Amino acid sequence: MGGVPGAGKTTVINKLKEVLKEDVFVVNFGTVMIDIAKERFGITDRDAMRKLSRVKQNELQLAAIDKIVELEKGKRYVIIDTHLAIKTPSGYMPGFPKELLEKVKPEIIVLITARPEEIWERRHLDTSRKRDLESIDDILEHEKINIAYLMAYSAMSGAYALIVRNNNGKLEDAVNRIKSLFYDGEK
């Protein structure tokens, strides 16, 4: 599951945890990466991590994939909270590299999105995180890029690609949309 900062991914996931309870196991890709970054490079900040050299970022990403494969063993439903594309100084870094698609084999890749103005506003209101303040045009570009990556990942892996709109006041709908994906074919 991915989405640009401010799309409301974390909020949606927290609601899903409340609803699905022990049936679902949530793992945050960035948190796994930063835990490894701490050990290996002494880094503590997410934004500092995004500014590491490409070689180091790739190393962290691969290590995180292996960690996740280990963590999800024996779990029934797993949600990976991540980004479809990470914006770095060298350009977009694919969030679901081939290795992840092959090792983790996601069944559905979900993109959480919202109206660009809403995303912009949410970022400005959120003072708890150190977020790059981008223009609405930048947000629109990132969205387009996310959709292109989403379809590429889906084409490469055969996973379903689901776009869920989390517009203001529609959180319930977004959560229900994703909830309906679980227990498919078991009812």
Residue 112, strand partner residues:
164
Q: Which is nearer to a second copy, 39 or 158 (CB)?
A: 158
Across 29-100, where does the E strand assignment appear? 77-81, 85-88, 91-94
Residue 166: φ, ψ to 5°:
-110, 65
Q: Does the protein bind a second copy through residue 161 (CB under 8 A)? A: yes
Q: Does the protein bind a second copy through residue 42 (CB under 8 A)? A: no
d(CA 169, CA 156): 34
Residue 114: φ, ψ to 5°:
-155, 175
Q: Does the protein bind a second copy through residue 92 (CB under 8 A)? A: yes
Options 4-12, 29-37, 69-77, 97-105: segment touching a second copy (CB under 8 A): 97-105
Q: Determine contact, residues 158/96, Cβ cutoff 8 Å.
A: no
Using CB under 8 A, which of 141, 170, 171, 179 touches a second copy? Answer: 141
Q: Determine contact, residues 182/77, Cβ cutoff 8 Å.
A: yes
Using CB under 8 A, which of 39, 103, 129, 160 touches a second copy? Answer: 160
Using CB under 8 A, which of 153, 166, 174, 175 touches a second copy? Answer: 153
Q: From the CB of 91, what's the least distance to a second copy, in Å?
A: 3
d(CA 162, CA 15): 18
Q: Does the protein bind a second copy through residue 128 (CB under 8 A)? A: no
Q: Does the protein bind a second copy through residue 104 (CB under 8 A)? A: no
Structure tokens at 94: 């694919």
Q: Does the protein bind a second copy through residue 98 (CB under 8 A)? A: yes
- Using CB under 8 A, which residues numbered 47 to 86 contact a second copy? 52-56, 58, 85
Q: Does the protein bind a second copy through residue 107 (CB under 8 A)? A: yes
Options 2-10, 28-36, 115-123, 157-165: segment touching a second copy (CB under 8 A): 157-165
Q: Determine contact, residues 138/114, Cβ cutoff 8 Å.
A: no
